[in-house]
């Protein structure tokens, strides 16, 4: 099963956070949604194991889902 993450706005931190859905652990924070949703940044953050990233709007509504396949060397 692929790892699943969500990028959403966190009012308490006043920034965009990428959280692991199962553990609720914050993986990384970003100043803007544009910065956090760049494919290169997400790929680097997820690493070789890849995963699924759900992007939400600032109000929490589903925006899109991106799949990053596992990379094998």
- Three-class secondary structure of residue 49 per DSSP: helix
Q: How many domains does the chain have?
A: 1
Q: Are 28 and 46 in contact (CB under 8 A)?
A: no
Q: Which residues contact 36 (CB under 8 A, 6 or more apart)?
A: 7, 16, 18, 28, 30, 42
Domain of residue 53 covers: 4-68
Instruction: Evaluate whether residue 62 is within a structural domain.
Output: yes
pLDDT score at 70: 94
Tell me how many helices (H) and strands (E) the chain has.
2, 5
Tokens of 48: 């070789």
Half-sphere exposure of 33 (CA within 13 A, CB side): 15
The pLDDT of residue 73: 64
Stretches where the chain sits below pLDDT 70 are 1, 73
- Residue 73 falls within a domain, yes or no? no
Question: Rounded to two decimals, what is the model's pTM?
Answer: 0.93
């Amino acid at each position: 099963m692929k790892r699943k993450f969500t990028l959403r706005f966190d009012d308490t931190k006043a920034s965009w956070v990428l959280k692991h859905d199962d553990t609720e652990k914050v993986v990384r924070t970003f100043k803007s949604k544009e910065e956090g949703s760049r494919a290169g940044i997400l790929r680097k953050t997820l690493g070789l194991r890849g995963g699924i990233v759900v992007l939400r709007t600032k109000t929490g509504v589903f925006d899109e889902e991106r799949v990053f396949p596992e990379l094998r060397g």
